[in-house]
Chain A
Amino acid sequence: METWAGALWDRWVRHLAEAHHPHAEIRLESLRRPLSVFFRGVGGEAGRRFAVAERRIHEGRRTWRERLAGTGRLTELPHLTADELRLPAAIAHFPKRPLNRDLYFWLALLAAHFVPNGEPWWLANQRATAVALARYPAWQERYDRLVAASLALRPLPHQLPPVDAAVEEAIRAALRAPGSVRTFPASPRPPRPVMLWLMPQETDAAAARRRPPPTAKDGASSSAAAPIQTEATEDPGSQHGMLLAFRAESLLCWAEYVRVDRSLEDAEGDEAGRAAAQLERLALAEDSDPVASRVRMDLERPPAADADERLREGILLPEWDYRRGQYRPDHCRIDLPRDEAMPAPLPGQLRPLTQRLRAELERIRSERRPQAGQPEGDALDLDDWVRRHAELRSGCPVSAQPRYIDTPRTARDLSCLLLADVSLSTDAHADDAHRVIDVIRDALLVFTEAIEAAGDALAVAAFSSLGHAHVRYHRLKDFGERNGPAVRGRILALRPGDYTRLGAAIRHAADRLAATASRQKLLLVLTDGKPHDIDHYDGRYGIEDTRRALFECRRRGIRPFCVAIDREAADVLPYLFGHDGHVVVQRLGELAARLPRLYAELTRP
């Protein structure tokens, strides 16, 4: 009974505290593409991605209701990073949907005009607002509506202590007349977040607190432990919710929160990893002590000293550095592992699908186009007949043979290379029974069988990487190699690797494709995510390098096309592969059937 009453109270008080209108909620997911179209249209950088802002603790003043409910400390603050615009996953501040939707578009508009030039955040936001509104005066009305609605959710200055009141007054003035506030009152604590503004990148002090110091056993291990899904939480010990008067209630939470100080208890062995694997949920909280985390270190490893070193031997490839606007010569090395696997037959469950697809692709092989003026054929060439008739009358010399319209088989002259991403992320489960890698293996097997029926030259390869010096390019089937048990064995032996250095893999695949004599060359890239590798090959850098590699392909007459199996990646794909150069497969189970059909469409004469 107590629990029930407590839950009820909790719900009510939270409802009271949060300006939250679930019925009017707009989710970022539903607006991702329109927002990025809009953002680019109003002048935002084309390479910038949209991401969900992480929840952060803000130390600003909370309303009495929020304090009562113990909420309001965690918010998703919209902000810009070096290559992303991070927005809240959902916005439900206002009771009307259009207003919540407008807030997303306003933040995108603001971000497109935001120049991070070292100004304090309250000045930079005012400037960007003023520039955006001057450039698009039609937005003024919508902006005013947003300001009015958001001010209604802010505390009134006269209800605040004098220090906070001065800050609040300044923010209100800056929102109403952007550019008017030139000085900002000092305050011991940050103000309540302004939902119409982009929040500053975290200060150095805050960043230092959030990150383990670089001395924290940097070289500990970069073993390919699977990144564990974690979530940020706050330390309940620091949260003084008013309802915890009865301590026994906290017993209910016991399973959810076990305080373990990882900075002290992380042993060198893999016990922590084993413990983590046994947990249902794993939460990372911050306190003021430095935290060492093996998972984090792998993701945030500082650039190795040799990152710029030029490699000496092996298959070397350049990489594009967009910041410098030039190539880093010989920056990547391609390894060509070829572990001979046990030859294998086609798995039984794939046979019916394979047979069906083979029959379909046989048809494109024999697709015909009518050709006039042939010495033999199915129909008389009437055009030719009239001409002949006319020439006969006018006394011109006429050749004896009538001409026909024939539909001969047109010779296809096409090479295709299928490049599959087998980075560690493919180890994830696609559904209850299958991992992504299983789906990819099946798709490769079926594809190889089906394309053989179309009679085109095909090579199949898979890639993963671990830093610039180790880009592994698995040759599963070379051009000219017969499809058979050996190829199938290699495909079946594929295991998930590490990361996705897409640019280098594409460059090497393009080299192989360019060496074929075919007139048409198609590079099919099958991936489950974005370019990503340990040595700073992520975000904008990886995207720009991949884009450059694709640009090189097109210049060499190779047509790249991407088949993506992750919706998350969908917003960078148009930037990389172009509007008509990619497709996102929504249901993974369909991949095996979809790939050959897609191929048929792409190469239809």
Chain B
Amino acid sequence: MTLPAYEPASDEVELFEHAWRNRLPVLIKGPTGVGKTRFVTHMAARLGLPLFSVACHDDLTAADLVGRHLVQNGQTVWQDGPLTRAVREGGICYLDEIVEARKDVTVVIHPLADHRRTLPLERTGELLAAPPEFMLVVSYNPGYQNFLKGLKPSTRQRFVALRFGFPDEAREIRILQRETGCDALLARRLVALGNAIRRLDGVDLEEVASTRLLVYAALLIRGGLPVLAACRAALVEALSDDAEVTAGLEELVRTVLGE
């Protein structure tokens, strides 16, 4: 099996391995599109563990994670949810954007995220003890200024936390080249553009250009689309709906990448 490519920023790979060996759960925080999910995929493959990813949303309940009874052919069948499967099979359960999930989700992850490492299945009466290989990983984006949503301290305090930021210039250039096969000059200019847009964080834009968006732009340009059109589609229009802001962003694109 080939390892999904991941370009480490510093010591996060070793940290993750240590956490896994010591059976500690991990919390990854950082803006969207900087490689949180890629990192977890990479680590799961590196450690040879099955990965159970769940993208959390505001209708996700504990039952969706743990499992539920289904009626089939007049019989009732218990169906494991992704969290239960990860515990049974000894893999990594990755809850992406954990703050989006309903509050009852935290109740089921708390006993898994401390020294107990157990998952009580109330509906089948089981109490699953997590094997040593099991690991719980959650991520969230602290940038969203939502009044009602935030990670409760009691949840946060159970995790080893890693912060992901935008990659530095040299690393992001390497990522772009590896992901898209574009040449060094284009990669360098796209990264310069990304960094120019990132200066607008919180002032003009809610969210700034992620590495993922830069990869999209590079792919479109490599595919033969003119540079301006590619950047307009992948970056400018993706980042703002405000016509005046997009006009300013387009000037930035022209300034960094040329006509």
Whether A associates with B in a native complex is yes
**Chain A interfacial positions (CB closer than 8 Å to B):** 31, 33-38, 40-43, 46, 105, 109, 136-139, 141, 383, 386-387, 389-391, 393-394, 396, 520, 554, 559, 574-575, 578-580
Complex formed: what's the CA distance from A137 to B68 in Å? Answer: 61
Whether the pair B199, A40 counts as a contact (CB closer than 8 A) is yes
CB–CB A396/B125 < 8 A: yes
Partner of A138, one of B69, B202, B203, B259: B259
Measured between beta carbons, the chain B residues less than 8 angstroms from A554 are 145
Known A43-B199, A386-B70, A390-B78; further 5 A-B contacts with Cβ < 8 A: A34-B247, A36-B204, A37-B248, A38-B255, A138-B254
Query: Given the complex, which residues of B lie within 8 Å of A393, measured CB to CB?
Result: 75-76
B186: CB under 8 A from chain A?
no
Interface: B71 (CB within 8 A): yes
**B203 A578 Cβ-Cβ under 8 A:** yes
Interface of A is mostly: helix
Q: Is B203 in contact with A42, judged by CB distance below 8 angstroms?
A: no
B258 proximity list for chain A (CB < 8 A): 137-138, 141
- The smallest beta-carbon distance between B141 and chain A, in angstroms, is 15
Q: Are B204 and A105 in contact (CB under 8 A)?
A: no
Chain A minimum-CB-distance residue to B252:
A41
Shortest distance from the beta carbon of B63 to any chain A beta carbon, whole Å: 7
Residue of chain B at shortest CB distance from A30: B244
Other-chain residue from B68, B69, B197 in contact with A41 (beta carbon distance below 8 A): B197
- In the complex, the answer to whether A386 meets B255 with C-beta atoms within 8 Å is no
Whether A37 contacts B256 by the Cβ 8 Å rule is no
Chain B: CB-nearest residue to A33 = B244
Q: Are A35's CB and B248's CB within 8 A? A: yes
Contact call A579/B249, Cβ cutoff below 8 A: no
Bound-state CA distance A386–B67 (Å) is 13
CB pairs A–B below 8 angstroms (9 shown): A33-B244, A33-B248, A34-B247, A38-B252, A40-B203, A41-B200, A138-B258, A389-B69, A391-B123
B206 sits at the interface (CB 8 A): yes
CA A242 to CA B203, docked complex, whole Å? 52
Chain A hits for B189, CB < 8 A? 138
Say whether, besides A34-B244, A34-B248, A38-B248, A139 and B147 are in contact (CB < 8 Å).
Answer: no
Q: List the B side residues contacting A40 at CB < 8 Å.
A: 199-200, 203-204
Q: Mark B116-127, 1 if CB is under 8 A from A, else 0.
A: 000000010100
CB of A41 within 8 A of CB of B199, answer: yes
Chain A residues contacting B248 (CB-CB under 8 Å) are: 33-38, 41
Closest to B245 in A: A37
Contacts of B148 in A (CB 8 A): 520
Cα A20 to Cα B196 in complex, Å, equals 34
B247, closest chain A residue (CB): A34
Residue of B nearest to A580 (CB): B206
- B185-210 contacts to A (CB < 8 Å): 189, 196-197, 199-200, 202-206
B257 within 8 A of A: yes
Q: How far is the CA of A284 from the CA of B210 in the complex (A)?
A: 52
A346 vs B81: C-alpha distance when bound (angstroms)? 59
Find out whether the CB atom of A33 lies under 8 angstroms from the CB atom of B245.
Answer: yes
Within the complex, the shortest CB–CB distance from B75 to chain A, in Å, comes to 7
Q: Are B71 and A41 in contact (CB under 8 A)?
A: no
**Chain B nearest CB, measured from A111 CB (Å):** 14
Q: A residues within 8 A CB of B251? A: 34, 37-38, 105
- Residue ID in chain A nearest B196 by CB atoms: A41
Residue of B nearest to A105 (CB): B251
Q: Is B69 touching A42 in the complex (CB atoms < 8 A)?
A: no
Q: Is the CB of B205 within 8 A of A136?
A: no
> Contact at B244–A42, with CB atoms within 8 Å?
no
B147, A579: Cβ atoms under 8 Å?
Answer: no
Top 6 closest pairs, chain A to chain B, by CB: A37-B248, A138-B258, A390-B69, A390-B76, A34-B248, A33-B244
**What A residues does B255 contact at CB under 8 A?**
38, 42, 105, 109, 136, 138-139
Taking a contact as CB atoms under 8 Å apart, the answer to whether A387 and B259 are in contact is no
Q: Is the CB of A387 within 8 A of B206?
A: no
Bound Cα distance from A580 to B147, whole angstroms: 13
**Distance in angstroms between the alpha carbons of A138 and B193 in the assembled complex:** 12
Q: Which of B76, B203, B254 contacts A574 (CB 8 A)?
A: B203
A37 touches B252 (CB 8 A): yes
Cβ–Cβ contact A394 & B63, under 8 A = no
Cβ–Cβ contact B123 & A579, under 8 A: no
Q: Using Cβ atoms and an 8 Å threshold, which residues of chain B touch A390?
A: 69-71, 76-78
> With a CB–CB cut-off of 8 A, which chain A residues contact B70?
386, 390
In the bound assembly, the distance between CA atoms of A559 and B255 in angstroms comes to 36
Alpha-carbon distance A390/B197, docked complex (angstroms): 55
The residue in chain A whose Cβ has the minimal distance to the Cβ of B78 is A390
Complex contact B206–A579 (CB within 8 A): yes
Q: Chain B residues with Cβ under 8 A from A43's Cβ?
A: 196, 199
- A387: nearest chain-B partner, CB-CB: B69
Assess whether B69 is in contact with A391, with CB atoms less than 8 Å apart. yes
A108 and chain B: residue at smallest CB distance: B251
Q: From residue A574, how far is it (CB to closest CB) to chain B in Å? A: 5
- Distance A109 CA – B248 CA, assembled complex (angstroms): 12
Residues of A within 8 A of B123 (CB): 387, 391, 396
- Bound-complex Cα distance A105 to B63 (A): 56
